[in-house]
Every structure is written in C-alpha cells, then in structure tokens.
Structure 1
Amino acid sequence: MVTKLRLYIPTFVYEIKSIFAATKLRFIVQFLAYILVYPFLWLISILPFPILYFFSDLLYFIVYGLIGYRKKVVKSNLELVFPEKSEAEIKTIMKGFYHHLCDMILETIKSMTISKNEMRKRMRFENIEVMQTIAEEGQSIALMCGHYGSWEWLMIMQEHFTNHKGYVIYKRLANPYFDRLVKRIRAKYDSYLITTKEAVPTISLAKTKGEHIIGGFAADQSPKANKAYHWNSFMGINVPMYTGAEMLSKKFNLAVVFCGVKKIKRGYYSTHFQLITKEPSTLPNYQITDKFMELVENQIKEDPQYYLWTHKRWKHKDRIPTKMTK
C-alpha cells in the first residue's frame, strides 16, 4: 500500500502542475490575443460611419463571397421555414442577411467609442412610455427581444430608467479579457451583463434591497433538447424553447414586455414596445414564452433578412423527448 502511494503521489502532483501550467499558458495566449486585436478594434471604432460601412461592404465580400461563412446553415434554415419561396427569393434574403450581419459586427465594434448623442440618433424608441408607466408603478421588468435588427444598441435605453438597474443575460466569452471589455462597454450605459446562473441570485438580492431592475432576455435561440421544458411551433416547425425569462418573471413578479426592433435604414433603428403581462403568475405555464415567440415570428415574416440565420435554431426540430409526449 505504501509503495503504491509513493508511486501515485508524484504522478498526482505532476498532473496538478501540468494543469496549472496549461491554465497559465492559456491565459497568456488569451492576453496576447487581446493586446494584439484590441488596437485594431479601437481604430475601427473611431472611424466615421461612411468609412465604417465601406469596411462592412469589404467584410461582406469576404464573409459571403470568399469564405461562405455558414452559408449551408443559413440556406437550410431559410428553405425550411420558407418552403414556398423560390431559390431566387432565398438567395435575395441570404444576401440581405449577410449585408446586415456585417453591419452588425462593425456597429458592435463602434459601440466602444460611439457617443451617447450619436447612439440616441440611431436607436429611437417609439413608445417608451409603455416601459416608463410600469417603472413609475414600481415594478421590475423582463424585457424580451429576439436576435433581430439590432439588439446591441438597445443599451442606450437604460438612461430613461434611473430608478431601475439594467441587467442583460448573456453567455460569458471564452477569453476573459474580451469578456471584461464587453462588460465595460455595457457599464458605460448603466447596463450590466450576468450569466444565466447569476440571474436568480442577482434579482433576488435586488429584491431584498428594495431595488427595481430591468432584465434583458434575447430568448429566441435553441436550448439543449434534453434540458428543454417546453416545445412549440416556431416558423411552422416544432422546436424546444427557452423558458427562463418566463420562469424568472413568475418567480419575481416581473412585468413582461416585448421589444421589437426595426431597421429604418443603414445604421438607424426604431424600437417598439408591447406589454405581454404585468401579472405573469396569473397566466398558464408557457403562455408568455409562446406569445414572445409569436411576436418574434411576426417580425421575421415581415422582413426576414434581419434575423440571425447563422444559428442552428431548428437543429432539434420534431425531436420531442418521449417523456414529454406521455
């Protein structure tokens, strides 16, 4: 037994040292990537918009024309949900989508240095009184939006709600240095990023302190099939749906508001708010989720090129687990 321990301990120590060494090396590589890329991002962010969109057009040529980034996924998604459209119509939507995607990428980088006045001109809120009325009544809000139009520039909205702290549910970036950069950009607009696991304790603490919050949820993407509680039709296809926003709204009595973004022209957006409910606990389970997805679907049908088609949203189509059909 003693002999075995003598053999095991050095091996164990070596493995621990190897793990620490690998972790340290990974952070060094991530830091180097950050300090090399950051200056280029900053230089892009200070470009005037006409030049910025010139580079967006160049990026479109690379992403769509040369690389063909996820073109199979995009084409497959469009053909699945729009079976009535011709090949020419699908191609037109694809080109429009890739142009918009490249604009979005450059506009997100522009967020690093854009002034609040400039962003106010480019992201307008048509009926923000829907949100303000709820805020004045002292209720916290779950703001639900799809990956449609521009969801990044919505952060300027927070300046209208000084008595409500803004949180956005997000997926942490693998590179911690870029993750901190994204958080710093959001913080400039009094909007803070939290992970799904941090949502419940964060909102619970705010409630304990008597604070009000606005929680942002882009909840239209696909959860893991084996972890989904609810399936329903989205664009005519049966798929799993995220229900976290509904769960939190019921748990903490958050008023639920849909945020619909419309692209007016290049670099300019308008936002419309629609109240789903002020009393989430009174509604049957999943009715909030279904209503939200219906509103996202309406947006897509009106102008499909502005939806995020590169995501494999329908990868679990019609694969409801047996336990849920019983």
Structure 2
Amino acid sequence: MEPSDVKISRKKPIFPVSPALQKYLKKYQRESKLPIGYDDLLIFDESYPIMDKYGKDSLWRGPIYSADRIEELYNGLKVIYANLKASGNLRIVQHKYIDKIEYCTFGNTHPFRIRIVNRLNDVYDYFYVKKADASRIYGLELEEILSPNQVNYLVDRETLIEEHIAGIPGDVFAKNYLHNPEYNPTRIAKEFVKFNERCLVMLLGDMRAYNFVVQITPDFDDIQFRIRAIDFDQQFYEGNIKVYLPQFFKENYAYVKMGMDQLTDKTYLQYQQEEKSSLLHRVRSERHRLTDLRDVSNTEVLTTEENISRLKKEMGEYFEDDQYLECNSMTDIIELNIKNIIRQVKL
C-alpha cells in the first residue's frame, strides 16, 4: 500500500454532452432550463485575487461585472439555486441574496463558486457553476448510483450546476484532525479502505487528499466518518490503474500509514468485503438506471484507445483476470468490476 508519485494527464479534454446523454439526464430529472449559463458568468471586466485566511493566494479570483449586468446575473443565480434545491420553487430565495461570485483559475473546469445568504439570519450556502463535461457527469451519476452518497446537480446544454459538498478537505483533515485523541483511528482507516475500493470499482481517478472531504458525524457512543469525493474531473479517462487507487497518491500517505498501523490483513479484507456487499445492494436497487447509463456511455468516446488498452491490461494483472482483456471501453471495465463483485459476494 506504499504511495508513489502517480502521474496523470493535466490536459484532459472537456467532452461535450451528447444528445443521448441529454436524453438520459432528462429521464432522470437532471436536466433544467436555466436563465443564465456558464458563458454568461465569463463576461466580466476584470478580476482581483482572493486570499485565504493565512494571506496566501487561494487561486480563486473575484470577477468584477459591469453595473448594468449585475441585477440580471444575481436574479438568474437565485433562480438556479431554487431549481437546484427546490425544483424551481422561488419561495426559498425570497429572503436570499447573492453575496459573492468567485472564479477558480485552477483545474480543468474553471468553476464559479456562488455564495448565497439568507438575509433573515445570515446563514449561507454555496453552489457551483461549471462548464458541462460529459465524463464529469458520468462520475456524478456513478457516485449517485454506486456510493452511499447522494449528489445534487443540474445540466443545461453547456452548463453544469453542482451543489456544494460540505466537509473538511482531506489535506486539512490529515494535517489538523487525523490524530485527534477523541477520534477512533480504526474508524478513519476503515473508511479510507472503503473509499479506495469504491474509487477502483467506479474508475474515479485523482482522489488526492484535496479532492475529497471528510465528514464527521457524532453518534451516541462514538464518532463516525465518511470520505466523499468532491472532484469528478478524472472519471475513467486515464490508463494508469494507480490513478484510481487513492492509496497510491503521496498526498494520501497519512491515511495509508494510519491504515497500516491500525488494520491487520484480515480486517483490511473484511472492510473491502463490507464495501463490496454494499455496492452489490446499490447495484440491485438501481439496476435499471445503471443499465441506462451503461448503454449511453458505451456509445461515446470519453478517453483514448491507448488508455483503454493500458487500463484493461493493468486491471487484468491486478485482479489476475484475463476477462479484462476483452473489454472495449471504460464502461466495459466498470461493468466487469461489478460482475466480479456479484460473483464474489455470492460465494
């Protein structure tokens, strides 16, 4: 389980939303007609750097819009928030106002982060406006179907709206919270094992510590933890199997070391099996939706032939299973992952 310096493509292309995927999104109520889109937010005069609380550049910028566009943008963003949170019921934004629009210059999708505030009590929330990327949307759908987490997002042509996923960023948690004496280290290690297993099955890549959050839930006799992905840019694109195993990223070494310190081989395998059983339950309950998603994604080009060829070979070696060599797409690999889980859990 030793981490290594995993190399991934920094220039993954953005794949457009196809008519077939758009039809799928409409069927499962992910499509929404929005009053403004991603490109509308790109039209700003200038921007200024936003510093974090330590005075360092956060890599987010504050765009400055012309005065004659501000009201239209703010009203449109409130309608988007109502669509995201309440199926378009505008009563939920009656007492809310747009407090901040921030633009990220880092990463593939260059998202806008919107802060909306309730003027009655100053409670605020965030949501994101991004350029729609088909592979990212497939990642969000697989997260909804195969993980224990629910994701809330909407798509309108070239625009993707995502709900903010609350939690402590994984790198911050590792630095400031991981060794809190009130936290049971075995529970954290167990959750990382399960997260690692899900990422490989779903082919969700680049889960470095800053691309996931840790959610903490006090229970009646202990504290529970859950690791949640917050970045789906690297969904089944890369050909290197290590990209889909969080244990191999050096940024996650603190979690890996905790696992090695706290878990035996027997308990490690036990937690893997628990996650496989949970995955099987989700597959059975969402089998029709999963089939629809498979049928759509198998018609699209979302990576390169070289990446597919490399990954199916590495998956075959990792699992000692030559069936992977017969896969023709990333979707085929995920489907074989699921079939193998079904066979293993039934044994």
TM-score by length of 1: 0.28
Q: Larger helix proportion, structure 1 or 2? A: 1
- Name the structure, 1 or 2, with higher relative contact order (CA <8 Å, separation 6+): 1
